[in-house]
Structure 1
Amino acid sequence: MGRYFKKMLRSFDYPLFAVYLVLCLFGLVMIYSSSMVWAVNVYDYEPDHFYKRQLFNLAVAIPAFLFAAFFPFQNYKRKKLMITSVVVMFILLVLVHFLGSGDHVGAQSWIKLPGFGSIQPSEVAKLVIIVYFASVFAKKYEAGTLDYINKSIGPPVSILILAIGLIMMETDIGTSFIIIMGALSVIAASGIKLKSFSKLSGVLFLALIPVAGILYLFRNTIITDGRKGRILSFLNPFDYAQGSGYQIANGYIAIGAGGIKGLGLGNSIQKMGYLPEPQTDVIMAVISEETGIFGTIIVLGGLGFIVLRALYIAMHTKDPQARMLAAGIGSVIGIQTFVNIGGLTGLIPLTGVPLPFISYGGTSMILLSLSLGILMNVSMFVKYQKNK
């Protein structure tokens, strides 16, 4: 065991770790800055309430990152571990429909744990699906059956569709999209032929039709007034600035007010009650307002580095499981960043997806840290294989 740690430490990906820490610490500072007024005026908390909670989240997330970084990724192919992970995921995804709480537009996505905050099962599903798909398709690659679309594809497709169905019924559309695209990214990185990939994508599409039918039957419950408002405000938020477009309109104002230089750390005007829950999925608006182009470069540059690093790692390993894990994790982080920034800037409707490593939230921070730890382990493996 000692030899293993020494071997891996010599291959430690210090740039990846440094960027991870910078993003986490910068996010912590901006959570403190963005949440003070909202914490006092809306929740009657102490000004540093959200800062302290995120500090606790980081105290759990960083050790989780280090654990995953030194836990050999090859173990994820173990049948018992994968079965346990999938079962736990489904238990949480089912429980959230009975014990869950939600937000103002109807998403019921969190299970409250007395004394410990809350857990978001859909965040667990993101990581479990990526790791499970990488394990399954790595075994198919090694068995030489990767391009055979037969009964063996049934279990992963069924698990993905069932998980997406449960998440859509919460209803968390943004996370559902991220998980589907992450799973497809893993399959695309498996080495599967384009013709077979097209067939498999078609199978996934057809399998989603029953889910769409169920959602249609419950459309009056799922398509709430708040969710309709988000779609309408996406088209022209200032026409609904006093209603459903309030958050995104004030986000635009914050970004515009910051300009290139920003108003200075702590000097945001929109966080003074104009921008709802500024420490969550719209935190980038406060970052732009207070730090201008400097803060924007830190966030987007750091996240861009992680995504490109993951794709670089995927392209420089011959191990199929390592390649799929790196591609899947990098894709999920990249897609989630696009969904968050795209919603804030009006490219797509706002979905409430957190900005990776920056937005306030314990489950997101811990699960993303575990994901990045797995990527770190893959990176160290690739570097070690290259240098030995």
Structure 2
Amino acid sequence: MPKKTVKTLSKIASLGLASAGLYHTYYQRKYPLIVDEPDEHILKVTKDEAMSNELALDWVMEANYTIEMNEKVVPYLSKRVQKGELKRGDYTLAYDAYVLDDAVATVTIVHGFNEYKEKFQEIIYYLLQSKIQVIIYDQRGHGASKLTPQQTQIDSQNFNEYVLDLKAVIDQVARPILLKGQKLIIFSHSMGGAVTTSYIEQYANEVDGAILNTPMFMIDTGRYPQSFTYLYTKLMTKLGYGRHYIPTTEAFEPSRHTVYNETPEEAISNSQIREEYFHKVNLTNHTLPTQGGSLNWLKTAFDTTHEILKPDRLNQVNIPVLLIRAGEDNVVQKEGIFTAGYYLPNVERVLIPESKHQTYLDHDNALKSYVNKLIGFIYSV
């Protein structure tokens, strides 16, 4: 290669790196994050602590998990569930209502990306035993709330539609079953945490408290900085490739995705027994489960997290918030959670050091401590 050509290519490469560096700096200034370790309550549990602090609930144990879920939990829930649908534009939201005559509180559950309402059956079982009635729904494009049963890609060009769906469920399903003086609380996980945060920022004081469980405030983009991933996503959607899959996800493929084969390193839960069980539940309930997301979804998710982490929006949320972070989270990054915790005025920050992203699918002792914390917060609101 001629020396002149080499020199030209070298200049272009240097210019590209410099531009990338400038954009990264610009991005960090435009969307600043808190990076310092906050003062978090550490929920670290030994077997003795779990036994001394646990509530008097009928617990489901890993040693006999599938049998206990199928023969005890599922029949218990089936006797108490009221299934319904709520029309929202092109989507029909499927929901389950577990109504109690003697409920002390009502909890609306907002699940995460690529999840479905049945995945929270064990948690619902514990809440009902604690006299907490539950509303849970499939978010649009998930579970039974898809446009067609064949839809396997999660696509969105307006993240606020998720927020308006939550508002509709609160207003039309949860609020009508409230008893006098009863508290209404949202329990949200991951993407559901972003949806819930946007909701409580926009509709102040419409609920009495919120649990943000490993919320999706900053998506883990792996070895690529979030700034570059966001730029790439913006460019691709602008060029008309918004319906392409996010590079780390893919379409549902029956020959590969019907078998649970996650290794402990790849799994997003500590309890692979629980995770495998609900993998099978997903396949049983949904002929073609959702599998991956579109670049449209990723871009609007980035746009939303940029907005909800603004200090002036977080500062106006006065209701009690329980903010839970998993120490071994491999889905969301901690800086987004640090930022929300720093600016929320009425927040309790909890760290579960050894837990992964799906804290509600942990090993027995850790799960007991986790559920104790959830129920304790609900009763304290």
Shared fold, TM over 0.5: no
Bigger fraction of residues in helix: 1
TM-score norm. by structure 1 comes to 0.27
Greater relative contact order structure (CA < 8 Å, 6+ sep) = 1
